[in-house]
């Protein structure tokens, strides 16, 4: 900036200086030229009248005059010259001023010297005898004057140079200093020259626009981060080089890393062959999917190539925890297989007995036994189908309408019909506790009571007891069904709630069990927002505890 100002100032100064010199010198040169010419004419007139009167002798008396006088005859021969010997001078008839004077009585001309540094002005006058008297004077030309003034001109130029440098430094400092001090964060608060106002207003507008855009971008980024962070699914974004651009908490947990691995090569974080292969496949084909078991859970990985600007920008990995789905699928498969099996056994027995009866292969006295068998197997089938229907209803019904139910009164109601069954097994059945109102579904609560009490009687020992207790547990109602029966081995305890699981298959069948009772109980309890626990010691008995939310007053 300083350099440019310096150059401009210097150039302007030099141009002004030169223009001034040229103009002044031109004007002075013309003025003095005119004065000199006028003097020359006067001197010629004076000398001419003197020669007219005194002849050439007058000229001989002259010496050291301001102008040179040359006296020429009518044929151009130099008769006398104040500055040179007349003999050495050539004939002047061809000289312009002489020629003019001879012709018209007066002539003028000007000629440059050989070096162009001098210019000689001539004035010639024809005298009465036909001779011509010429006066001439030489003066320096403009170039010679300039050459002569070179030193002062150079001195002035040097002064201009120094002054320009000084001015340029000061000017640039004065211009640049406020510019450097500009507060571009608050452009309109700057108090500098007016010329900057439009620019500062423009900057302020741009700043506001950029601030707005940055805020909008940040908001979107925050929203995106919040969504990604709180996603249940894992999400990993990789760039083309396979480096991690973004990873959320779920994905970090899956890969046993933390969110600080951003920027690292994915292979450094996870070397699983299948995942690497899936990423490669997605890069080539656009999408790939794999299922992986890790830490006892099942995961579905969807890998998609991200294309941008006509090329591959990276890869996105979506990780879904599909353990429940896989579990449900397996359960469904097992359930279907179990249902078929459970239905087939009594049906085969029915068909076998029916065939024997049809072919009259049964003795008359055995017929009632075979018919009874068909009836009991059919009854088993009916109860199995009823249980399956109950379970599927529980599976389908997501939200059941609840009502306030006195659990104690309901237990009393449901236990009564079981008294005969208990008596047959010589088991004492009793109910203790106090009325507690729960928020539940009456039908499901009945189901729970009948199944738990039924099992407690079924899997009891002769002379044993079943105690049903209903009590207030603060926020919850607590129902316990305790028996003194055969108990459940520890390893079987977590499995008794599974569909069709029986500890002792033959005993369960003997007692007409379907293996679905406890499964229905667990579902029913969960459907009402409750919880079921089991404590059991083989040989000593079992206690099932059901915790249900109380009706809020």
Query: Tokens 């667990």 appear where?
Result: 522
Q: Are 321 and 301 in contact (CB under 8 A)?
A: no
Paired strand residues for 318 = 235, 302
Query: Smaller CB distance to ligand ADP: residue 105 or 539?
Result: 539
How many CB atoms neighbour CB 547 within 10 A? 17
| Residue 427 C-beta-side C-alpha neighbours within 13 Å | 31
Query: Tokens 């108090």 appear where?
Result: 191
Least spacing, CB of residue 435 vs ligand ADP, in Å: 25
Query: Smaller CB distance to ligand ADP: residue 411 or 518?
Result: 518
Among 10, 542, 546, 550, binds ligand ADP (CB under 6 A): 542
Among 5, 244, 317, 488, binds ligand ADP (CB under 6 A): 488
Query: Does the footprint of ligand ADP cover residue 518 (CB under 6 A)?
Result: yes
Q: CB under 6 A: which stretch of 2-10, 172-180, 278-286, 483-491 binds ligand ADP? A: 483-491
Least spacing, CB of residue 521 vs ligand ADP, in Å: 7
Query: Does the footprint of ligand ADP cover residue 483 (CB under 6 A)?
Result: yes
* C-alpha dist (Å) from residue 406 to 202, 410, 436: 77, 6, 5
The site string for ligand ADP over 424-453 (x = CB under 6 A, - otherwise) reads ---------------------------x--
Among 48, 69, 486, 548, binds ligand ADP (CB under 6 A): 486
CB neighbour list of residue 548: distance below 8 Å, 6 or more residues apart: 407, 438, 439, 440, 445, 476, 477, 478, 479, 525, 528, 529, 530
In 3-state terms, what secondary structure has residue 263?
coil
Rounded Cα gap, residues 414 and 280, in angstroms: 63
Least spacing, CB of residue 479 vs ligand ADP, in Å: 14
CB neighbour list of residue 470: distance below 8 Å, 6 or more residues apart: 407, 408, 411, 431, 432, 433, 434, 435, 436, 477, 478, 479
Rounded Cα gap, residues 276 and 522, in angstroms: 42
Query: Does the footprint of ligand ADP cover residue 255 (CB under 6 A)?
Result: no
Least spacing, CB of residue 347 vs ligand ADP, in Å: 18
Among 459, 467, 477, 479, binds ligand ADP (CB under 6 A): 459
Least spacing, CB of residue 454 vs ligand ADP, in Å: 8
Paired strand residues for 436 = none
Residue 308 CA, chain-centre distance (Å), reads: 14
Q: CB under 6 A: which stretch of 20-28, 265-273, 298-306, 515-523 binds ligand ADP? A: 515-523
Paired strand residues for 292 = 299
Query: Does the footprint of ligand ADP cover residue 422 (CB under 6 A)?
Result: no
Could you tell me the sign of the dihedral formed by the alpha carbons of 78, 79, 80, 86, in that order?
positive
CB neighbour list of residue 405: distance below 8 Å, 6 or more residues apart: 437, 438, 439, 440, 442, 445
Q: Are 95 and 128 in contact (CB under 8 A)?
A: no
Query: Does the footprint of ligand ADP cover residue 485 (CB under 6 A)?
Result: yes
Among 187, 314, 515, 530, binds ligand ADP (CB under 6 A): 515
Query: Does the footprint of ligand ADP cover residue 190 (CB under 6 A)?
Result: no
| Residues 494-513 within binding reach of ligand ADP (CB under 6 A) | 496, 501-504, 508, 513
Rounded Cα gap, residues 23 and 241, in angstroms: 75
Least spacing, CB of residue 486 vs ligand ADP, in Å: 5
Rounded Cα gap, residues 85 and 20, in angstroms: 44
Length of the chain: 553
Query: Smaller CB distance to ligand ADP: residue 433 or 513?
Result: 513
Least spacing, CB of residue 429 vs ligand ADP, in Å: 13
Q: Are 275 and 301 in contact (CB under 8 A)?
A: yes
Least spacing, CB of residue 377 vs ligand ADP, in Å: 16
Least spacing, CB of residue 545 vs ligand ADP, in Å: 12
Least spacing, CB of residue 422 vs ligand ADP, in Å: 13
Q: Are 83 and 134 in contact (CB under 8 A)?
A: no
Query: Does the footprint of ligand ADP cover residue 455 (CB under 6 A)?
Result: yes
| Residues 124-183 within binding reach of ligand ADP (CB under 6 A) | none
Query: Smaller CB distance to ligand ADP: residue 124 or 516?
Result: 516
The contact set with ligand ADP (CB under 6 A) reads 451, 455-456, 459, 483, 485-488, 496, 501-504, 508, 513-519, 542
């Amino acid at each position: 900036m300083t350099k440019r100002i310096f150059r401009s100032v210097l150039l302007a100064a030099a141009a002004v200086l030169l223009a001034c010199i040229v103009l002044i010198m031109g004007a002075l040169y013309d003025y003095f030229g005119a004065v000199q010419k006028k003097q020359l004419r006067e001197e010629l007139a004076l000398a001419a009248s003197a020669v007219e009167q005194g002849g050439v002798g007058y000229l001989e008396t002259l010496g050291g005059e301001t102008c040179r006088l040359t006296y020429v005859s009518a044929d151009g021969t130099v008769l006398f010259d104040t500055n040179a010997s007349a003999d050495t001078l050539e004939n002047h008839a061809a000289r312009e001023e002489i020629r003019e004077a001879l012709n018209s009585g007066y002539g003028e001309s000007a000629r440059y010297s050989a070096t162009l540094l001098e210019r000689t002005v001539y004035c010639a006058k024809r005298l009465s005898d036909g001779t011509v008297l010429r006066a001439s004077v030489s003066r320096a030309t403009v170039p010679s004057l300039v050459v002569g003034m070179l030193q002062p001109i150079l001195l002035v130029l040097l002064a201009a140079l120094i002054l320009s440098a000084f001015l340029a430094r000061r000017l640039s400092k004065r211009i640049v200093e406020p510019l450097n001090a500009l507060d571009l964060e608050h452009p309109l608060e700057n108090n500098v020259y007016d010329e900057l106002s439009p620019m500062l207003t423009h900057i302020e507008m741009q700043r506001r626009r950029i601030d707005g855009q940055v805020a909008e971008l940040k908001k979107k980024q925050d929203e995106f981060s919040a969504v990604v962070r709180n996603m249940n699914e894992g999400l990993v974004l990789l760039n083309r080089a396979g480096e991690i651009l973004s990873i959320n908490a779920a994905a970090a947990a899956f890969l046993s890393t933390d969110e600080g691995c951003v920027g690292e090569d994915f292979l450094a974080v996870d070397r699983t062959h299948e995942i690497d292969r899936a990423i490669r496949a997605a890069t080539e084909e656009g999408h790939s999917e794999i299922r992986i078991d890790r830490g006892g859970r099942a995961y579905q990985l969807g890998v998609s190539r991200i294309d941008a600007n006509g090329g591959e920008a990276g890869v996105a990995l979506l990780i879904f925890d599909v353990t429940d789905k896989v579990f449900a699928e397996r359960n469904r498969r097992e359930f279907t297989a179990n249902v078929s099996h459970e239905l087939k056994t009594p049906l085969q027995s029915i068909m076998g007995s029916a065939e024997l009866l049809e072919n009259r292969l049964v003795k008359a006295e055995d017929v009632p036994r075979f018919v009874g068998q068909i009836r009991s197997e059919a009854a088993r089938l009916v109860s199995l189908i009823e249980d399956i229907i109950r379970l599927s209803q529980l599976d389908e019904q997501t939200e059941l309408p609840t009502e306030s139910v006195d659990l104690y009164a309901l237990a009393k109601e449901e236990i009564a019909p079981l008294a005969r069954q208990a008596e047959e097994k010589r088991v004492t059945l009793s109910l203790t506790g106090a009325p507690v109102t729960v928020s539940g579904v009456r039908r499901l609560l009945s189901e729970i009571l009948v199944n738990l009490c039924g099992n407690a009687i079924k899997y009891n020992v002769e002379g044993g007891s079943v105690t049903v207790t209903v009590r207030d547990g603060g926020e919850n109602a607590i129902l316990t069904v305790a028996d003194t029966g055969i108990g459940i081995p520890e390893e079987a305890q977590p499995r008794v709630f599974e569909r069709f699981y029986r500890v002792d298959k033959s005993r369960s069948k003997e007692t007409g069990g379907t293996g679905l009772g406890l499964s229905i109980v667990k579902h029913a309890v969960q459907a009402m927002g409750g919880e079921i626990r089991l404590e059991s010691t083989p040989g000593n008995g079992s206690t099932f505890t059901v915790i249900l939310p109380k009706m809020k007053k």
